[in-house]
Amino acid sequence: MTDKAFPSWPDIAPDLIHVAAGRAPADTVIRQGKWVNVHTREVLDNHDIAIKSGRIAYVGPDASYCTGPDTQVIEAQGRYMIPGLCDAHMHIESGMLTPAEFARAVIPHGTTSMFTDPHEIANVLGLEGVRLMHDEALLQPVNIFTQMPSCAPSAPGLETTGFEITAEDVAEAMHWPGIVGLGEMMNFPGVANADPKMLAEIAATQRAGKTVGGHYASPDLGRDFAAYVAGGPADDHEGTCEADAIARMRQGMRAMVRLGSAWYDVEAQITAITEKGLDPRNFILCTDDCHSGTLVHDGHMNRVVRHAIACGCDPLIALQMATINTATHFGLERDIGSITPGRRADVILTSDLTDLPIELVVARG
């Protein structure tokens, strides 16, 4: 995926190399923090981060050699340096906000990447509305990736929507710069019955090398579930109990687990990790729907991570569920989700890994 609003790693690789080699100064250096490494699940004391052109050039014990007279130096003062948080599935419209105002509301909470499915506007304005949300998303100072809506209307024949999304719309949108995959495939009976339109949307997404979002809102883990999984959705956020999370992960899907304004699905499912001991890298946190009141009063992904920790999850594992796990799922592990060279410089400073106060947010450097 190329986001024209922001340089890619290969675009600026020479600059990153020169900073890391000590031949050129960094734009910004964050000094003397505890490096939370979500690849190895370690916390490493006394580390520095050197940033150039919005991406990370170097992380190590001493970046003073990357510091020039014009380098901005941020003193971490021993605080934890964690990657910016990712919301793996959500709808901006649920906040009653535009993409710009949603970003403004959540950046102070540490959210620097969002995977948004604008299916509400798709109901009103069709493909043109999706494009409006997509284009505004690309203008923001944080990473807002768009999931192409799959099911507008969500219940054909029962809703009088203004527009309909077609399989041709999905195929076209896969070429847009900010499209990261297909939004939640809510028509699970359609997939289970091999409905040609639903399968065409999934095929267009898979052939573009992108991720098919799932939405299997049924407690039935029998043949309908098996048929749905066989159709291609790669994640699902409709699970409500531990067995749901386990069934999805065993079948090679990612369990996406929600804490939204009205969704409280983390406590019941995180026991798959905390008690059953399953591999946590296939467990991803998201909000799905947050009203603006929740954003103002309770937070965003910081609220979800705190809640996962309060449910007994190791803080480093909970952070992986909102950073690297999400990035990996969408094929973006080399772009976001960790504090390592080449990645977008999305860094939070916090003095406590359990309460997770968001004390400073650096987005794209």
The helix (H) or strand (E) run that includes residue 146 is: strand 143-148
Distance CA 31, CA 12 (A): 23
Closer residue to Zn ion (CB): 147 or 350: 147
CB of 98 to Zn ion, least distance (A): 18
**Structure token digits, residue 109:** 């909470």
From CA 139, how far away is CA 144, in angstroms rounded?
A: 9
C-alpha closest to that of 125 among 138, 135, 113, 140: 135
Closer residue to Zn ion, CB minimum distance, 301 or 348: 301
Do 98 and 129 contact (CB within 8 A), yes or no? Answer: no
Closer Cβ to Zn ion, 93 or 242, answer by number: 93
169 vs 288 by CB, closer to Zn ion: 288
What is the smallest separation between the CB atom of 286 and Zn ion, expressed in angstroms? 8
Alpha-carbon span 322 to 259, nearest angstrom: 12
Q: Which residues bind Zn ion (CB under 5 A)?
A: 184, 288
What minimum distance in Å lies between the beta carbon of 106 and Zn ion? 16
Nearest residue to 5 via CA among 40, 54, 48, 72: 54
Let me know: does 37 contact 79? Beta carbons within 8 Å: no
Handedness of CA 169, 171, 172, 173 (dihedral sign): positive
And the tokens for 87?
A: 């919301």
Name the residue nearer to Zn ion (CB basis): 295 or 339.
295
Closest approach of Cβ 353 to Zn ion, in Å?
A: 29
- Residue closer to Zn ion by CB (options 201, 288) is 288
CA nearest to 352, candidates 41, 15, 43: 43
Closest CB 288 distance from Zn ion, rounded Å = 5
| Smallest separation, CB 263 to Zn ion (Å) | 9
